[in-house]
Amino acid sequence: MAKPIHIAVVSIAAFSHQASIVGFCKRLVHLHHHFHVTCIFPTIDNPIPATLAMLQSLPPNINYTFLPPVHKQDLPQHASSVVLIQTAVSQSTPSFREAVRPLCSTTPLAAVVADPFATAALEIAKEFNMLSYIYFPTSAMTMSLLLHLPKLSQRGICEYKDREEAIQIPGCIPIPGHDLPSDFRDPAAHELILQCCKRLPLADGFLVNSFYEMQKDTVKTLQEHCRGSNNDAFVYLIGPIIQSSESKGSECVRWLEKQKPNSVLYVSFGSGATVSQKQLNELAFGLELSGQNFLWVLKAPNDSADGAYVVASNNDPLQFLPDGFLERTKGRGFVVTSWAPQTQILSHVSTGGFLTHCGWNSALESIVLGVPMVAWPLFAEQRMNAVMITEGLKVALRPKFNENGLAEREEIAKVVKRVMVGEEGNDIRGRIEKLKDAAADALKEDGSSTRALSQFGAQMENFRGQT
């Protein structure tokens, strides 16, 4: 029997990141039965309810702990979600060190795997003579951006934010300056991100939630970079890791059962993204004008695109819809005001399109389940993801926004119809079906992602054998 190997993983106080890294842990212990994982989560005020629910179904060789909470009142006021989360992670670093210490003395840790915004953990891993890795819940393109950000910042990358001029991130499709991560426009957020990026060379390797066949050019460039300047660090593409969701008693799923195949547009901006009241109105009228069936996961509006990322609103979202909207769309529209089983919805035969904020988890789920997308990025690296899926992979269409930053109802209706019933939609469906097959192949026993995760496990075993 193989000797048990224990690793610790640390995330940040954001559900999308926590869900992805827990998905990685589940896949790791499924492939390597002798691995044991301790998940460590920083918290702001209280653990995230969705995370608590997710942790109820862990296998026995994964356990978890929450670090003492950082109180929101002690964080910078009126700051962006990146600043809040990064500051919370920084304040939690001493607690993380104290959480790791007993693990090292009782069941020696082979490695720490950290979120890219928890890179202080890399330094702590060195203190305790462990291997250290970064787990990117985002794409290989985002990894390339962050790995090269110190040099790009020296060249004035933030000065391009309002220009059409494209930025060449190594190994990636060119990105227009205005599609760089929105956090770069906030000096405080940009500086905190830059501090994290400067620690990345400390890592012994990088795990990425993507698969080789989809981002082969990017990963080849990353591997060359890491071999040349990062102490021969390894780059493992081990995805796609997506979250399974199922709700047998869900009213929205029962509604889907009554619809025709590929007839429903699923509309969701993820767990933390929000739109303004004006944009919510235009979206509602656009869905109505399109004439297409839709299932909309509705959240209360907020003038900040990441308004629900740290603390969600308690307001009833239905009160913000245009007068008479629900009555006028009755029968062909269904509005959900709480959680919806996203992967169950995307995998349903009635679902023919996905209007998404382009968070990487959602984009991957759409690719894995073969659903064409309407790309509507809102914050973080979502604009980069939108460029990748529209211009690179060509599996999505993106609406145009006016000079006031609004997508107008006529534009929304036009793009929705192009995806759902147009010839372009059929072409997109063909391309995304091929990606769906490639994603499935990557996860097979002899697939590229399974081999990469096996190589990661072998590196742990070799290290433990030398210590």
Whichever domain contains 313, its CATH number is 3.40.50.2000
* Residue 466: predicted pLDDT: 63
* Residue 166: predicted pLDDT: 86
Statement to judge: residues 260 and 386 lie in one domain: yes
Which is catalytic among the residues 32, 36, 115, 148? 115
Statement to judge: residues 164 and 60 lie in one domain: yes
Residue 245 within any structural domain of the chain = no
- CA neighbours closer than 13 Å in the CB half-sphere of residue 325: 22
Which is catalytic among the residues 17, 32, 348, 357? 17
Residue 100 within any structural domain of the chain = yes
- CA neighbours closer than 13 Å in the CB half-sphere of residue 125: 26
Statement to judge: residues 211 and 233 lie in one domain: yes
Q: Which residue's structure tokens are 């962006």?
A: 80
* pTM score: 0.95
Statement to judge: residues 222 and 256 lie in one domain: no
Residue 216 within any structural domain of the chain = yes
| Residue range(s) defining the domain that contains residue 108 | 5-239+445-466
Q: Which residues contact 318 (CB under 8 A, 6 or more apart)?
A: 298, 326, 335, 337
Amino acid at 37: V
Tokens of 385: 């993801």
Residue 264 within any structural domain of the chain = yes
CA nearest neighbour of 189 among 76, 73, 308: 76
Name the burial class of residue 4, with classes exposed (0-12), middle (13-18) and buried (19+) by CB atoms within 10 angstroms of its CB. Answer: middle
Statement to judge: residues 347 and 455 lie in one domain: no
Statement to judge: residues 155 and 285 lie in one domain: no
* Residue 158: predicted pLDDT: 62
Statement to judge: residues 435 and 453 lie in one domain: no
Residue 183 annotated in active site: no
Statement to judge: residues 103 and 122 lie in one domain: yes
Residue-wise over 234-252: b if at least 16 C-beta within 10 A, else e? Answer: bbbbbbbbbbebeeeebeb
Statement to judge: residues 260 and 330 lie in one domain: yes
Q: Which residue's structure tokens are 């988890």?
A: 361
In terms of DSSP H, where are the helices of 176-264? 187-199, 216-229, 251-256
Statement to judge: residues 352 and 330 lie in one domain: yes
Residue 244 within any structural domain of the chain = no
Statement to judge: residues 232 and 291 lie in one domain: no
Q: What is the number of domains present in the chain?
A: 2
Statement to judge: residues 96 and 234 lie in one domain: yes
Residue 260 within any structural domain of the chain = yes
| Cα(151)–Cα(136) distance, integer angstroms | 20
Amino acid at 64: Y
Amino acid at 214: M
CA nearest neighbour of 391 among 167, 157, 174: 174
Residue 33 annotated in active site: no
Tokens of 256: 């889907």
Distance of CA 256 to the CA centre of its chain: 26
In the chain, which stretches have pLDDT less than 70? Answer: 1, 157-164, 228-231, 249, 307-313, 464-467
CA nearest neighbour of 387 among 356, 426, 358, 429: 358
Residue 158 within any structural domain of the chain = yes
CA nearest neighbour of 142 among 17, 268, 45: 17
Residue 106 within any structural domain of the chain = yes
